[in-house]
Structure 1
Amino acid sequence: MKRLFLSILAALPILASAQTRSSDNLVQYVHPIIGTQRMGHVFPGATVPFGMVQLSPETDTVGYEQDGHYNPKVYSYCAGYQYDDKTIVGFSHTHFSGTGHSDLGDFLVMPTVGALKLNPGTADKPGSGYRSAFSHANEVSEANYYKVKLDDYNILAEMTTTTRVGFHQYTFPKSDNAHIVLDLMAGIYNYPDKNVWTYVRFINDSTLVGYRSTNGWARTRTLYFALKFSKPFISHGYKKYDKREVYGGFWGQFNRTPNFPEIAGRQIRAYFDFKTTEGEKIKLKMALSPVSMDNALANMQAECPGWDFDKVKAEGQQQWEKELHKIVIDGSQTDKENFYTSMYHAMINPTIYMDVNGEYEGLDKNVHKASGFTNYTTFSLWDTHRALHPLFNIIDPKRNADMVQSMLAHYHQSPEHMLPVWSNSANENWCMSGYHSVSVIADAVVKGNAPFDANMALDACVATADHRDYAGIGYYIDMGYIPDEKSGVSVSSTQEYAYDDWCIAQMAKKLGRQDVYDTFIKRSQNWKNVYDPKSGFMHPRLADGTFRKNFDPFTTNNMGFIEGNAWNYTLYVPHDPKGLIQVMGGNKRFITYVDSLFSYNLPDKYFAETEDITKDGIIGNYVHGNEPSHHVVYLYDWTDKPWKAQEKIRMILPRMYKPTPDGLGGNDDTGQMSAWYIFSSLGFYPVAPGSDQYAIGSPAVNKAVINLDNGKTFTINVKNQGEKNVYVSKILLNGKPLNGWFISHSDIMNGGEMTFVMSSKHK
């Protein structure tokens, strides 16, 4: 989920020779501020691995224009925070990491002193509202810890989390007019009628519970909360901003007096008053639940019963240490910052979506209880099937299996009887093309990571692939392609369906289901039906079998392709590189084509004049900032010039990744961009998830130790590493020469050692 011409991270320096021991503190190398400038769309706040709470600052309130039309500025605020902004509006509890769509930002909290303000104000007139100026000089962003000084109020704000609880600590100046505002109207990408209903009930003078129902990108979403303060408030109140039709057809605000026992309405902001001494800390904990207020209270009691902020911070950072130590690299300070921030970004999503008692809201809006697995949400599958889930199959197989079981639960609860496409918070958002949950499921089954009913999972994949009423699948089944007249993304969808069909075939083969294999291996060749040998490109094809005459291989969305153009999508056949090379005219012509992708500069006219379409992440016509290109450089491994893959990988890494705020120039897409970096810097990549093979690249580390869940280790040693030594002259696997440019999943999971010998000259 991002726009076409976006990229992420940029500049990997050469790794130094300092040995990294497994006892090292790796959290110190994580800098969540990386990617918060421009279009990385990540957030700098606190979260634990895969946590349900992402407690982070918002730096603006952007929504629809006043006339109700789309405001293009919204796209800059998918994560709620932009590094170049000068003010903070408050701190909210839910965020997407690196997506190209805006939502969430629930339950915003803002501490203030002085005259009470209940409007956030605007960036150009900050004094008109409760927002505050801040400086990056007084800002700290770490794994599970965020700190900033709110300059207008002289308040130090600190954040940490558990899986389901956001923990705030505010250090106030001396004041008889200290306030904490709870904005129940706030939200990223706020647009008319997003709030459906809000309810708050007071338990005592320091505890309240409630919920908020919204109609956003997730169309029917209810999130419950429990909020507890470390000291009683001396008074409280609220303002209701509902538009209420009254006699005579007038509309106006409807307000209530302070010190209320409960509130209900659509648009509400509440406040809590305190008297503070100099340096006094007021703490608050907000627990979330997808099920009930009682469950939110239970989540708080189970995960964060006390008020020791430093203890909660340390425990969360220890969770990160455990995850980061799954791959220990040898490198310089800069190298480790790049690598471990990528590891951090890869382990934020998908997010846990269930209470401590195992209950969660399902797609059918009923309450379910996860039995034998942890339920997850936030599945940006068009992105993450490519490298993120394959990475989990290596370093976190149990968690990935739970994610698959979450997808299968989604299938059983779905009225369409379909696996998820892009799901979040018990909603299907139907975003992007393909049905790539089948890729994730097949990859797990083929790689032996399937502690679930694999045959039932295959049946769910087949049912999804045969859903004729969804996004042109009926045409695809009957005609072997989707006609151009029937879809603006007919070509890319045809190609993506063909890949997904191949995944189903591989899964069927593994399970001995020959009839399913025969059907879907044949369908997996449908990509050939949209290749036009005359133009040399994947090409929109009409229902009468002819190719569209008005065709430009550089144009993108709704011209046959989604977030890519014909030049890029012609290389999107990850499951059949040999077949692609053959139809494109053989080895020599194919290599020339891939070379041209990097050397041909995309004409300026193809960049839209909006801020969400930029030249970030582009090298020639190669768009690293969008996922359909991620496997492209590895296709050289199927030719007689694999050294070209090595050369280009080591060219892409320093141009696309760097440890700075603008180090993710394009959407991280819930970790996919970071997963590409992790695999590529280790020296191999899963070109076609659903296969047990990885293509060899050019490692950018001196050494890496992958600590596997089975107790074994897979060690990567790199000899003669250097800025110019980008070519692989020899590979040894467990002391024996590796024949070819591929390793298997079992080679890694069985443990052992792979040694790369690097050179400044290719063979």
Structure 2
Amino acid sequence: MITVQASSAQTKSLTQYVKPLNGTQRMGHVYPGATVPFGMVQLSPDTDTIPYEMNGKYNPDVYKYCAGYQYDDATIVGFSHTHFSGTGHSDLGDFLIMPTTGALQLNPGTAAHPESGYRSKFSHANETASPAYYKVKLDDQNITAELTASARVGMHKYTFPEKTQAHIILDGMHGIYNYDDKNVWTFFRVENDTLVTGYRQTNGWARTRTVYFAMSFSKPIKTYGFRKMDPAQAYRGFWGKFKQDKDFPEMAGHRIRSYFDFDVEAGEAVQIKFALSSVSTEGALLNMRTEIPGWDFAAVKAAGEAAWEQELAKLSIESKEQETLESFYTAMYHAALSPTIYMDVDGRYKGLDQNIHTASGFTNYTTFSLWDTYRALHPLLNLVQPQRNADMVQSMLAHYDQSVHKLLPVWSHYANDNWCMIGYHSVSVIADAVMKGNAPFDANKALDACVASARHRSYDGVGAYMDMGYVPEDLSGASVSKTLEYAYDDWAIAQMAKKLGRNDIYEEFLKRSGNFRNVWNPATGYMQAKLKDGSFVTEFDPLSTHQKGYIEGNAWNYSLYVPHDPKALIALMGGNKAFVRHLDSLFTMHLPDEFFAHTEDITRDGIIGNYVHGNEPSHHVAYLYNDAGAPRKTQERVRMILKHQYKSAPDGLGGNDDCGQMSAWYIFSSIGFYPVAPGSNQYAIGSPAVDKAVLQLGGGKTFTIVAHNQSAKNVHVKKIVLNGKPFNGYNIDHETILAGGVMEFYMEN
């Protein structure tokens, strides 16, 4: 009877299991604020503002604040409208709002002395975070802050404790991290006694980014003012004839903060609707009037919660463990935060060419962290959000059309490509969609874009790679990582070309996909950097993360990165037994303290032995035991990673969530299979860690996974039954899943 009640409660509300604060401590780099699935607005608290440089050098504390919020902090600076989820770098933090009372202060103060500015102390005991809703008490002035959102509009509700004059501060120079020239220009304009519009231009991770806004108050402004925070921006020329700091309707400058005053009664709430656009203030106002025309905060919150409930129900699970339910649905939540919608309600958006375009027949997206998300997030979306993933592919193709380089996106956001990380992994996402039949677009045109990107000789060592079959380290750094990742992407292109009957392309890129062999050094037993003269680099240390040839990994990690041809890799390493021994040592070795002391980009977070789960090149590795004839070890390792790298707690992520990739790994691995090589129709079988999972496939079809007798001890698969018949092997294909049915795992110790 208890089980039935638990199941009923689970069916009634899945959002109850989502814990947005999970991953906000240490390296998870997620934000806890209000947003809807794939929303353009991410309205969230920022707990500090960090200068990019201190004393002329890079400030390492910047890394802590990639999402603007750190769980261990004791103060909140304010609530800004744009955030990345789980990245290892940052931008954004646009248009910070903070309510205050008492003497007006237009600087943020410091964490040590919050009273010196507009920030406030807060306590987690007075903080609530759930899908589409965030609430916190600002202790210094006893103001209750509540946030919710639609796709393009953030909604604030600030309740004041007593009759007073309330200030609403709008900080136009705030950013997740700041350096002197990031804020290029800001413009604020008071349209009437309840409406303010404007825009902000920044030169940050995105080198040229413009965000427009429209801000509406629920009651008339009593007084307002602007403050230029840069003393060098003196009033001069014609504009010097006006007193612009108070009740003047507009202000433009490099660094601007503003305030809006209201007389409030005890217990009165001032509400704000804040809409964004990449096109114009007019577009922002249209977004506001379309998505949130009224002032019913509870209705907006309920609509956001309903959107999340629908999203979570696309893949539902049953488990006897509360921890598993919370970790799983929080992972589903995090996996639906990126990429983000990037267009107004009328379909218009700013393109890579900085012109205004209209998305016709698709929703345009941005925030493509492709080095991370091609591995599992996009394959997950192909299963549970096929239309949305197809729209993301069309967004990538629009990016290609607008690119002067004729390159698909690498790491793109807000009409920019910041070129972060390596590879041309858009082709993996596109190939995966085409190979899995999710291509409501011109697949041949998409293939042409993939080929053009992969043949772009001036991009990151590709010319030498094409000529020599590898990237020489003395011509382009991280050469081994690039060679291996290019080879995988080339294989993905080959698979797509074969399906489309483009045999010349298939032959060319299938040959290129074997280039991983060209950086294999049989003398050391590792993938190793080569110079342009064909010799391997000397002074080789396979454990060093400063070894020439690699990025976000060492030779030991990257030597296992041949996801498209594991049998060939196993042969290079001496066959099944030798390969299994190598994998075992990866997970069981003990790294000396010196390894961490001299390593800036990897900490103890996310590491098991020398297996670095916090960095994505290792995400497929546990499944390689299957290919070496040791599936029980795949099952053991997967369950070990699930246990040690994820938990339902603020420090519950063993590394950056990386726009949902860490969470997508958890989701796939929890239900029993994983896409080792996107672009293939195959998923590798692992060990399901839930009792039951149901994928909604559309058209009334479902694919159900049942794990009989699974537990923390029973992690091995005794047998598998698919639709009542024995299932052999350790791969399942995409078409079998889409056909629907029931896959039963019988588990044992």
Which band: TM-score by shorter chain? over 0.9
Measure, in 2, the Cα distance between the counterparts of 1:255 and 1:651: 66
One-letter amino acid matched to 1:681: S
1:387 aligns with 2:402: no
| Corresponding residue for residue 442 of structure 2 | 453
Measure, in 2, the Cα distance between the counterparts of 1:710 and 1:385: 27
Measure, in 1, the Cα distance between the counterparts of 2:545 and 2:407: 28
Deviation of 1:378 after TM superposition, in Å, equals 0.1
1:506 aligns with 2:506: no
Change (3 A) 1:342 1:255: farther
Measure, in 2, the Cα distance between the counterparts of 1:402 and 1:246: 47
- 3-state SS of the aligned residue for 2:252? strand
Measure, in 2, the Cα distance between the counterparts of 1:475 and 1:257: 58
Contact map agreement 2:541 2:547 (CA 8 A) in 1: no
One-letter amino acid matched to 2:675: P
Measure, in 2, the Cα distance between the counterparts of 1:206 and 1:137: 34
| Corresponding residue for residue 401 of structure 2 | 412
Contact map agreement 1:557 1:563 (CA 8 A) in 2: no
| Corresponding residue for residue 488 of structure 1 | 477
| Corresponding residue for residue 541 of structure 2 | 552
1:207 aligns with 2:195: yes
Note the 1:602-681 alignment, pairs <5 A: 602-608=591-597, 613-681=602-670
- Deviation by residue 1:439-468 (Cα, 9 ceiling, x = unmatched): 000000000000000000000000000000
Change (3 A) 1:268 1:246: closer
Measure, in 1, the Cα distance between the counterparts of 2:421 and 2:586: 24
Contact map agreement 1:495 1:526 (CA 8 A) in 2: yes
- 3-state SS of the aligned residue for 1:595? helix
- 3-state SS of the aligned residue for 1:607? helix
Measure, in 2, the Cα distance between the counterparts of 1:168 and 1:751: 43
| Corresponding residue for residue 250 of structure 1 | none
Deviation of 1:243 after TM superposition, in Å, equals 4.5
Note the 1:510-529 alignment, pairs <5 A: 510-529=499-518
Measure, in 2, the Cα distance between the counterparts of 1:624 and 1:463: 32
Deviation of 1:592 after TM superposition, in Å, equals 0.5
* Equivalent pairs, count: 742
Measure, in 1, the Cα distance between the counterparts of 2:575 and 2:284: 61
One-letter amino acid matched to 1:574: P
Choose the corresponding residue for 2:710, options 709, 721, 743. Answer: 721
Change (3 A) 1:246 1:232: closer
Note the 1:587-606 alignment, pairs <5 A: 587-606=576-595
Measure, in 2, the Cα distance between the counterparts of 1:20 and 1:698: 26
Change (3 A) 1:95 1:563: same
- Deviation by residue 1:323-380 (Cα, 9 ceiling, x = unmatched): 1001111113222111000000000000000000000000000000000000000000
Choose the corresponding residue for 1:230, options 212, 218, 223. Answer: 218
Contact map agreement 1:617 1:666 (CA 8 A) in 2: yes
| Corresponding residue for residue 35 of structure 1 | 23
Mean CA deviation greater in 328-337 or 533-542: 328-337
Measure, in 2, the Cα distance between the counterparts of 1:143 and 1:580: 43
Measure, in 2, the Cα distance between the counterparts of 1:500 and 1:557: 25
Note the 1:159-170 alignment, pairs <5 A: 159-170=147-158
Choose the corresponding residue for 2:208, options 220, 231, 243. Answer: 220
CA RMSD of aligned residues (A): 1.8
Measure, in 2, the Cα distance between the counterparts of 1:245 and 1:356: 37
Measure, in 2, the Cα distance between the counterparts of 1:316 and 1:246: 44
Deviation of 1:613 after TM superposition, in Å, equals 3.5
Q: TM (normalized to structure 2)?
A: 0.97
One-letter amino acid matched to 1:306: G
- Deviation by residue 1:710-763 (Cα, 9 ceiling, x = unmatched): 321000011111221110010111111112100000111110110000011xxx
1:691 aligns with 2:691: no
| Corresponding residue for residue 101 of structure 1 | 89
Measure, in 1, the Cα distance between the counterparts of 2:499 and 2:113: 62
Q: For structure 2, list consecutive stretches of 5 or more residues without a partner in the other structure.
A: 236-241
Measure, in 1, the Cα distance between the counterparts of 2:355 and 2:629: 56
| Corresponding residue for residue 92 of structure 1 | 80
1:81 aligns with 2:69: yes
- 3-state SS of the aligned residue for 1:217? coil
Change (3 A) 1:18 1:611: farther
Deviation of 1:606 after TM superposition, in Å, equals 2.2
Deviation of 1:68 after TM superposition, in Å, equals 3.7
| Corresponding residue for residue 453 of structure 2 | 464
Measure, in 2, the Cα distance between the counterparts of 1:484 and 1:179: 57
1:398 aligns with 2:387: yes
Measure, in 2, the Cα distance between the counterparts of 1:525 and 1:189: 42
- Deviation by residue 1:284-340 (Cα, 9 ceiling, x = unmatched): 000000000001000000000000000000001100011100111111322211100
Measure, in 1, the Cα distance between the counterparts of 2:176 and 2:361: 34
Contact map agreement 1:727 1:759 (CA 8 A) in 2: yes
1:71 aligns with 2:71: no
| Corresponding residue for residue 115 of structure 1 | 103
One-letter amino acid matched to 1:210: G
- Deviation by residue 1:167-198 (Cα, 9 ceiling, x = unmatched): 00000022433100000010011111111111
- Deviation by residue 1:239-294 (Cα, 9 ceiling, x = unmatched): 102342789xxxxxx98331011111110000011111110010000000000000
- Deviation by residue 1:632-652 (Cα, 9 ceiling, x = unmatched): 000011112111000111111
Contact map agreement 2:212 2:277 (CA 8 A) in 1: yes
Measure, in 1, the Cα distance between the counterparts of 2:92 and 2:417: 15
Measure, in 1, the Cα distance between the counterparts of 2:732 and 2:83: 37
Measure, in 2, the Cα distance between the counterparts of 1:308 and 1:609: 54
| Corresponding residue for residue 424 of structure 1 | 413
- 3-state SS of the aligned residue for 2:94? coil
| Corresponding residue for residue 561 of structure 2 | 572
Choose the corresponding residue for 2:575, options 578, 583, 586. Answer: 586
| Corresponding residue for residue 127 of structure 1 | 115
Q: For structure 1, list consecutive stretches of 5 or more residues without a partner in the other structure.
A: 1-14, 248-253
One-letter amino acid matched to 2:287: N
| Corresponding residue for residue 238 of structure 2 | none
Mean CA deviation greater in 36-45 or 235-244: 235-244
Q: TM (normalized to structure 1)?
A: 0.95
Choose the corresponding residue for 1:308, options 291, 296, 315. Answer: 296
One-letter amino acid matched to 1:687: V
- 3-state SS of the aligned residue for 1:708? strand
- 3-state SS of the aligned residue for 2:178? coil
Measure, in 1, the Cα distance between the counterparts of 2:219 and 2:622: 58
Deviation of 1:20 after TM superposition, in Å, equals 6.0
Measure, in 2, the Cα distance between the counterparts of 1:611 and 1:565: 13
Contact map agreement 1:72 1:611 (CA 8 A) in 2: no
Choose the corresponding residue for 1:330, options 318, 328, 332. Answer: 318
Mean CA deviation greater in 412-421 or 555-564: 555-564
- Deviation by residue 1:596-619 (Cα, 9 ceiling, x = unmatched): 101112222222468764101111
Q: Which has the higher contact order (CA 8 A, sep 6+)?
A: 1
- Deviation by residue 1:7-36 (Cα, 9 ceiling, x = unmatched): xxxxxxxx9995467842001111100000
Measure, in 2, the Cα distance between the counterparts of 1:17 and 1:465: 54
Measure, in 1, the Cα distance between the counterparts of 2:651 and 2:208: 34
Contact map agreement 2:545 2:599 (CA 8 A) in 1: no
Deviation of 1:484 after TM superposition, in Å, equals 1.5
| Corresponding residue for residue 707 of structure 1 | 696
| Corresponding residue for residue 25 of structure 1 | 13
| Corresponding residue for residue 345 of structure 2 | 356
One-letter amino acid matched to 1:600: M
One-letter amino acid matched to 2:218: S
One-letter amino acid matched to 2:296: D
Deviation of 1:687 after TM superposition, in Å, equals 0.1
| Corresponding residue for residue 262 of structure 1 | 250
Measure, in 1, the Cα distance between the counterparts of 2:708 and 2:610: 33
| Corresponding residue for residue 530 of structure 1 | 519
Contact map agreement 1:240 1:255 (CA 8 A) in 2: no
| Corresponding residue for residue 7 of structure 1 | none
Deviation of 1:435 after TM superposition, in Å, equals 0.5
- Deviation by residue 1:143-163 (Cα, 9 ceiling, x = unmatched): 000000000111000000000
Measure, in 1, the Cα distance between the counterparts of 2:243 and 2:459: 47
Measure, in 1, the Cα distance between the counterparts of 2:265 and 2:5: 51
